[in-house]
Amino acid sequence: MPVRLYNTLTQKIEDFVPATPGKVKLYVCGITVYDLAHAGHGRTYTTFDVLVRFLRARGFEVSHCQNVTDVDDKIVNRAKERGEEPLALSKRMGELAEEHLAAIGCMRPTSMPRVSTTIDGIVDLTQRLIQKGSAYVAETPHGKDVYYSVRSFPGYGKLSRRNLDDLRAGASERLAAGAVDVKKDPLDFALWKAAGPDGFGFDSPWGKGRPGWHIECSAMAFKELGEHIDIHGGGMDLVFPHHENEIAQSEACSGKELARFWMHGGFLEIDSEKMAKSLGNFVTIKDVLEKNDPEGYRYFVLGTHYRGPLSFDVEKHDDGRVTFPGLDEAERRMDYLYATRDALVSLADGSEPGEPNILQGQAEVVAGAKERVLEALDRDLNTPVALSVLAELGKAGNEIVMQAPKMKKDPAKHEAVRKLAASAVRALAAACAPLGLMQAEPEAYWKRTKARRLRLRGLAAADIDAKVAARTEARKAKDFAKADAIRKELAAVGVEVFDAADGSSWKITL
């Protein structure tokens, strides 16, 4: 079955075939780094990270270019507020964004060009557009601007399905609000803007200035990937005008189709509204990492198809704690998967994976898991179905663990079930890989989640250990009233105690 992806350009799910067999050129619009990256950015980049992992798992060689917008009016304004150099601010925020995206499991793109180091390409592209009659220079009080002439490009609106006359009404109204009109047509957009009174800018044939927002992506895509790419992606909010303008610039210049496929991720919402910096309702990735495990966040994101809206809940508890219930639930599922893997590993006990003739139903789930995940992703990255495969695999794994003791008396059967357990461990890793889940060593996962949950509850492991030890003493003395009292006391502060044959352990409630 071929890889199938939804294409915004055609509004259909289509078979994906790259221009060069086996090689995929992917360009993803990156972040404007004037502030911390938020959970909505995280969702989009997680989607494309899964796309990359999946395409590679399907045997494609993927070049993934994702830009960093480090030159922009918002950066200049924010820097001014803080009394900082614009490029110093964007460098700092860019590094934090990279760090936070890496933390939530997004692999580093193959290339991450910046506007500040692509000025030559941007100037070159702008000049070519002027020469072709697609752009023109306009005089402003500060110097020279360059605008793209939208009406010179016949295909304008093909991605976002807008017609120029509908757009014009809105654009005219905006102009009445007081902007200086140096454009020949209200729809025209800037390729180059003269430096403002702040003086921040780069040298160019039109004097000191800086690029418009859209031109950078055209220049970077050309430079890093060439004039025709296979997939161009970003958030839903970029369809218009950003991607529409990119198409106009790039295609007017090269005469080639910029991208065969256009993919757009849906929004992360809070209270049914888009999470956005401009609305002030955002939760940063840093906030998420404070409260939840990064893989829990990833599981949460992948639980909804990438094109649909995903609602991010925030809950304020009576005791003053603020939690993200959706992330907590997802994190419990990660606990389940890691715990299942631990149980399988200890059952396998060094045994080699195999396909033994035992526990047929479970063995079938184990054998088919990886391919079923890939098949789910074949269908326009259907990650929720992929996660349902993980759920079934986890259940099969626990069933294997549960059945094993019954086979202890028969060495051949027990050996077989250990082989199956080893296969299940391997299947879990293989099924999770294209999703970027279970990337941590189990010990590391338990260590980091425990440390974080203790911190959030304001608890110390030593205190809990002492109470659990006291309870163990009470249990040995058959003083169950006291043991239960201690359990209740711990439960009240969010600690669950459970007893096993080899002693008691505890866990912080999420």
Interactions with RNA, residue window 152-171 (CB under 7 A) = 160-163, 166-167, 170-171
| 113 lines the binding site for RNA (CB under 7 A) | no
Reported as half-sphere exposure (CB side, CA atoms, 13 A), residue 15 has a value of 4
Of 86, 109, 235, 356, the one binding RNA (CB under 7 A) is 235
Of 27, 153, 213, 338, the one binding RNA (CB under 7 A) is 213
Which is closer to RNA, CB of 332 or CB of 408?
332
**Maximum CA pair distance of the chain?**
91
| 450 lines the binding site for RNA (CB under 7 A) | no
**Minimum Å distance from CB 276 to RNA?**
4
| 63 lines the binding site for RNA (CB under 7 A) | no
Which is closer to RNA, CB of 142 or CB of 395?
395
Rg for the chain, CA atoms, rounded:
28
Tokens 């430079």 identify what position? 223
**Minimum Å distance from CB 255 to RNA?**
26
Sites for RNA among residues 383-422 (CB under 7 A) = 384-385, 387-388, 391-392, 394-395, 398-399, 401-402
The H helix count followed by the E strand count for the chain is 16, 17
**Minimum Å distance from CB 20 to RNA?**
26
Which one of 221-229, 263-271, 434-442, 448-456 is the stretch in contact with RNA (CB under 7 A)? 263-271
| Of 385, 388, 269, residue with least CA distance to 333 | 388
d(CA 127, CA 207): 13
Please count the residues of this chain forming the interface with RNA, following the rule CB under 7 A.
83
Which is closer to RNA, CB of 61 or CB of 181?
181
**Minimum Å distance from CB 364 to RNA?**
12
Q: Are strands 259-265 and 229-235 parallel, antiparallel or unpaired?
A: parallel
| 142 lines the binding site for RNA (CB under 7 A) | no
d(CA 334, CA 510): 12
Of 275, 327, 369, 431, the one binding RNA (CB under 7 A) is 275
Q: How many CB atoms lie within 10 A of CB 485?
A: 13
Of 43, 210, 341, 413, the one binding RNA (CB under 7 A) is 43
Of 108, 174, 184, 406, the one binding RNA (CB under 7 A) is 174
Q: Which residues contact 448 (CB under 8 A, 6 or more apart)?
A: 293, 440
**Minimum Å distance from CB 21 to RNA?**
27
Q: What is the DSSP letter of 351?
A: P
Q: What is the DSSP letter of 68?
A: B
Which one of 200-208, 379-387, 409-417, 422-430 is the stretch in contact with RNA (CB under 7 A)? 379-387
Residues 67, 71, 77, 79: is their CA dihedral positive or negative?
A: positive
d(CA 406, CA 400): 10
DSSP for 96-128, written as a single string: HHHHHHHHTTPPPPSB--BGGG-HHHHHHHHHH
d(CA 11, CA 506): 51
**Minimum Å distance from CB 158 to RNA?**
11
String marking each residue 2-41 x if it binds RNA according to CB under 7 A: ---------x-----------------xxxx-----x-xx
| Of 106, 104, 507, residue with least CA distance to 290 | 104
Q: Is-contact 380 4, C-beta < 8 A?
A: yes
Which is closer to RNA, CB of 8 or CB of 351?
8
Which is closer to RNA, CB of 111 or CB of 504?
504
Q: Is-contact 182 145, C-beta < 8 A?
A: yes
| 323 lines the binding site for RNA (CB under 7 A) | no
Which is closer to RNA, CB of 274 or CB of 419?
274
Of 238, 288, 359, 433, the one binding RNA (CB under 7 A) is 238
**Minimum Å distance from CB 244 to RNA?**
9
Sites for RNA among residues 286-315 (CB under 7 A) = 303-305, 307-311
Which is closer to RNA, CB of 22 or CB of 177?
177
Long-range contacts, stretch 437-440, CB < 8 angstroms, 24+ apart = 437/105, 437/295, 437/298, 437/299, 437/302, 437/334, 437/337, 437/390, 438/295, 438/334, 438/337, 438/338, 438/341, 439/105, 439/295, 440/295
| Of 112, 356, 380, residue with least CA distance to 221 | 112
String marking each residue 451-490 x if it binds RNA according to CB under 7 A: ------------------------x----x--xx--x---
| 236 lines the binding site for RNA (CB under 7 A) | yes
**Minimum Å distance from CB 10 to RNA?**
11
